[in-house]
Structure 1
């Protein structure tokens, strides 16, 4: 997802983390924070990447990394007005995509597209609640490890994330096209800005990447944030603690605007997408990290 505001390479704080293999992301973390060590880096063509990624596992098939880009949106969805796709997630062979209405001047809905293991898809169109911002109403979605809940959030500066029952996997969730209601909210003890991608790395912990170009909320810009919940998501409101654990890797032969995008966690590996500055932005950098 492209940021509402972008960041220049100039003026980055001295806390910028080098992204060479072996770099550690731990800036600003406390004793309760995560420490992630970079273990890999690859690039993916921007014709298919640059808006998000997720690991999909299907029985008897090789593990697949699913990438999202505006060009990957099926034409029928574009015709319906769903012109922007955010960072997806996948669990138990299902893929959960989040879409933004880009045709309506004042959007009143957002859409979750669920792809089942057999490849069939179902649209769940949700009327926005009074506290749900219309712009970039869906920036990312993350499935809880137990598969019961989807946690999503908009771009911009926010103080909460939204919880919905997972279609097909949660008995409280819908099984046919219709509304995917908000069941609860995760209230954040610290505002976050422009969270482009999030994923659960445990039952009570999310890692998010932001394209926040400023350092007024946290010591650095373009942060990796850790969100800790006091208990696993259960469909009731909860307040979570937010802390910065570092800055996304910013490495390119081009200077200018970097845009962090999707976040994926699977089998102990955390992946973070970063779109480099133009003209290097024909590819998306994907950095891999493991806990240490």
Structure 2
């Protein structure tokens, strides 16, 4: 199957999802607007609309497209979209990259169709991904398909810190009981090597810390083999790791400190010194809390000045 055929069929499936989620309104906007929205050519738009007319989903009257009936899963074209698991990974990677690169800032609004288009996943995948964060107050749904990234208050950060401390300390205790597990031991050694390499080049590679930070905390939380721990990690990562990085004035120094604190924890783990590992982790978590406080304070100051 050619690339153009795959694009056309993927767009048909995305279009149907958008209709069912009431993201698309009728009569439809112009072909140019639809082409821009889905990042496709007007030729592809015409092909999608022709298919939906043939299926009896749309009708073309008085130079406008109207909805006749709600499309079903049977109207979609099977076998052309990426597997769901891969799409979930794509949207997670893309969304975090937006935040980490400061393309998405506290208070910014964004559209789920545009996110789906740019991440090359379906709008349904984007919506389900965002709904996980909606529950924790990380984002707000301001209208159909429109979202806003929340600016967190200090009280929220303090409560989250308490939750994070209990979670990660408990998980670290579980990890220390599994050091005979070759996979955990190997991952810890690899992470230590990566951290030490970054520490040597921190002056110009400090922004690479984001990936190591996620791997470090994921290792600790995944050792407990508790799905709720992993889900909570997503919440913690967005707030503590990404939120304070929006203010880059001392990011290099903060990341340098964090790398050294990670190294201390990893060395204690590999030396099988549980008390030392927990002490080092507590120090690191407290440093993260202080960084969050300062960042939130600066955001509040900017809001007052505005």
TM-score calculated relative to the size of structure 1: 0.25
Answer 1 or 2: which has greater helix percent. 2
Larger radius of gyration: 2
Question: Between Structure 1 and Structure 2, which shows a larger proportion of strand residues?
Answer: 1
TM-score (norm 2): 0.24
Higher relative contact order (CA 8 A, sep 6+): 1
